[in-house]
């Protein structure tokens, strides 16, 4: 059985890959622990962030020159529109409540007081 395991090419391949993984992990851990690696990584992150900011500024100026809204402006418009829709829903619900209350009052036969008050300046 030991001969079968030592002559099995898949077992040898697995063992070789396992050893390579251990070596790569040890090298990566040693590299990431060094301060130089941290500096390089921070510098690369800073460069990437700077490039993204420059690209965003360029796109905003380009869209402004083309008389098109930027993403931030579209988000602002969407937020305002959502707020307006919410207010309209509240107004609609209030009107519906008032109309249903008036219809219920008319069905029950609630008498309202007569409108005897006249506007000023109108003869009695």
pLDDT at 108 over 60: no
Q: What is the CA radius of gyration of the chain?
A: 38
Give the pLDDT band of residue 1 (cuts 50, 70, 90): very low
Q: Nearest CA to 72 among 63, 46, 48?
A: 63
- pLDDT band for 123, please (50, 70, 90 cuts): low
The string of pLDDT tens digits covering residues 10-40 is: 888 999 999 999 999 999 888 888 888 888 8
pLDDT confidence bin for 80, thresholds 50/70/90:
very high
Contact present, 34 and 28 (Cβ < 8 Å) = no
The larger pLDDT score, comparing residue 106 to residue 121, is at 121
In the three-class reduction of DSSP (H, G, I as helix; E, B as strand; rest coil), residue 9 is classed as: helix
């Amino acid at each position: 059985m030991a001969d079968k395991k030592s002559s099995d090419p898949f077992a040898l391949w697995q063992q070789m890959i396992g050893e390579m993984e251990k070596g790569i992990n040890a090298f990566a851990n040693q590299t990431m622990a060094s301060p130089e690696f941290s500096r390089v990584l921070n510098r690369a992150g800073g460069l990437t962030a700077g490039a993204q900011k420059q690209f965003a500024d360029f796109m905003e100026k380009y869209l402004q020159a083309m008389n098109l809204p930027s993403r931030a402006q579209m988000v602002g418009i969407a937020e305002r529109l959502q707020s307006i829709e919410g207010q309209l829903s509240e107004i609609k619900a209030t009107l519906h409540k008032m109309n249903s209350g008036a219809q219920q009052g008319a069905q029950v036969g609630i008498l309202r007081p007569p409108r005897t008050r006249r506007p000023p300046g109108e003869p009695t």
